Amino acid sequence: MATSDAVKDPAVKGKLKLIILIVVAVLLAIGLSVGATWYFMHSPKSEAVPQADVNVKLPALYEPMAPAFVVNFNANGRQRYMQVSVTLQARDPADLKALMVHIPVIRNNLVMLFSGQAFDDLATPVGQEILRQKTTASVQEVAQKELGKVVIDQALFTNFVLQ
């Protein structure tokens, strides 16, 4: 009779309910894990391919913009000039080739950008880096407008002379 009295005891009933609840939760977790594994293992392979391709980074390509840009300044009553060689860094050769069709527009925009700078600002490394970033943005803007994507990662100054 001791066992039947133990089942009727409220403390034992509470522990029994807790054990049943834990067992059901563990079985549910196992079932969800098996179901999710089966789903992902049997999903169509065509969906997984683009995700793998997105992570592949193409090697960098460099396209120099020749000739170098030359800009005249009148700073503090003296005639000054800047010469800068620009090289574009991209990843996709087809996109870079398509962008090269628009080099006249890009060169025009860069000449306007360079000639609008203050000579004293360009004399500092910070000023030169800001100009390089503006150059990158200008080229990316033309690419976005004409090709629908930015195409280049950055514009690099491979030669920068202030005199």
pLDDT tens track for 59-72: 999 999 999 999 99
**In this predicted structure, what is the pLDDT of residue 49?**
47
Q: What is the mean pLDDT of the chain?
A: 86
- Evaluate whether 38 touches 63 at the Cβ level (below 8 Å): no
Mean pLDDT of 50-66: 79
Q: What percent of the chain has pLDDT over 70?
A: 87
The CA distance from 68 to 80, in Å, is 16
Question: Which tokens go with 93?
Answer: 């050769």
Mean pLDDT of 24-45: 79
Name the pLDDT band for 92 (thresholds 50, 70, 90).
very high
